[in-house]
Amino acid sequence: MADGPLIVQSDRTVLLEVAHPQAEDARHDLAVFAELERAPEHIHTYRITRLGLWNARAAGHTAEDMLATLERYSKFAVPQTVSVDIRETVGRYGRLVIERDADGALVLSSTDVPVLIEVAGAKRIAPLLGERIGDSAFAVQAWARGALKQELVKLGWPAEDLAGYTPGTPHRIDLNEDGWHLRDYQNKAVESFFDGGSGVVVLPCGAGKTLVGAGAMATAKTTTLVLVTNTVSARQWRDELLRRTSLTAEEIGEYSGSAKEVKPVTIATYQILTAKRKGEYAHLALLDALDWGLIIYDEVHLLPAPVFKLTAELQARRRLGLTATLVREDGREGDVFSLIGPKRFDAPWKEIEAQGFISPAACYEVRIDLPASDRLEYAAAADEERYRLAATAPAKLDVVKRLVEKHAGERILVIGQYLDQINELAEALNAPALTGQTPVTERESLYQRFRDGDLTVLVVSKVANFSVDLPEATVAVQVSGSFGSRQEEAQRLGRLLRPKESGLHANFYTLVARDTVDQDFAQNRQRFLAEQGYAYTILDSADLAQAA
The secondary structure element, H or E, covering residue 389 is helix 383-391
Q: What's the mean pLDDT in 151-156?
A: 93
Q: How confident is the model at residue 350 (pLDDT cuts 50, 70, 90)?
A: confident
For residue 66, name the pLDDT band (cuts at 50, 70, 90): very high
| DSSP bridge partners of 295 | 225, 319
Of 68, 5, 59, 72, nearest to 32 by C-alpha is 59
Using the predicted structure, report yes or no on whether residue 353 has a pLDDT greater than 60: yes
Angle at 186 between CA 184 and CA 191, to 5 degrees: 95
- Average pLDDT of the chain, as a whole number: 86
Query: pLDDT tens, 388-446?
Result: 888 888 888 889 999 999 988 888 889 888 888 889 999 999 999 888 888 888 888 88
Measured distance CA(541)–CA(231) in Å, rounded = 38
User: Rg for the chain (alpha carbons), in Å?
Assistant: 24
Contact present, 314 and 146 (Cβ < 8 Å): yes
Share of the chain above pLDDT 70, in %: 90
**Rounded Cα gap, residues 128 and 123, in angstroms:** 10
In this predicted structure, which of 70-74, 144-148, 222-226, 271-275 has the lowest mean pLDDT? 271-275
How far is residue 345's CA from residue 213's CA, in Å, rounded to a whole number?
13
State the Cα–Cα distance between residues 421 and 461, nearest whole angstrom.
Answer: 10
Please tell me the predicted confidence (pLDDT) of residue 466. Answer: 55
> How many residues does this entry show for the chain?
548
How confident is residue 129, by pLDDT bands cut at 50, 70 and 90? very high
**Alpha-carbon span 395 to 369, nearest angstrom:** 8
- Rounded-to-integer distance, Cα 292 and Cα 177, Å: 25
- pLDDT tens-place string over residues 440-458: 888 888 888 888 888 889 8
Q: From the DSSP assignment, how many helices (H) and strands (E) are in the chain?
A: 21, 25
| Residues in contact with 82: Cβ distance below 8 Å, sequence separation at least 6, in sequence order | 8, 9, 10, 12, 48, 70
The whole-angstrom separation of Cα 149 and Cα 314 is 13
DSSP 503: -
Convert the pLDDT of each residue in 520-535 to its tens digit. Answer: 777 766 766 666 667 6
DSSP state of 413: E
Q: What does the alpha-carbon distance between residue 74 and residue 1 come to, in Å, rounded to a whole number?
A: 8
Which pLDDT band holds residue 351 (cuts at 50, 70, 90)?
confident
Q: Could you tell me which residue, 80 or 386, shows the higher pLDDT?
A: 80
Structural domains of the chain sorted by starting position, each given as residue range(s) with its CATH number in brackets:
6-91 (no CATH), 96-161 (no CATH), 184-353 (3.40.50.300), 359-546 (3.40.50.300)
- pTM here? 0.78
In contact, 477 and 416? CB cutoff 8 Å:
no
Predicted local confidence at residue 548, as pLDDT? 43
CB atoms near residue 29 (< 10 Å)? 21
Measured on CA atoms in the order 131, 133, 138, 140, is the torsion positive or negative?
A: negative
Listed residue (415, 430, 509) closest to 460, CA to CA: 415
pLDDT at residue 485 is higher than 70: no
Rounded Cα distance between 391 and 521, Å, is 10
Instruction: Provide DSSP, 75-142.
Output: SSPPPHHHHHHHHHHHHHTTSEEEEE-TTS-EEEEES-HHHHHHHHTSTTTGGGEEEEETTTEEEE-T
Q: What is the pLDDT of residue 437?
A: 85
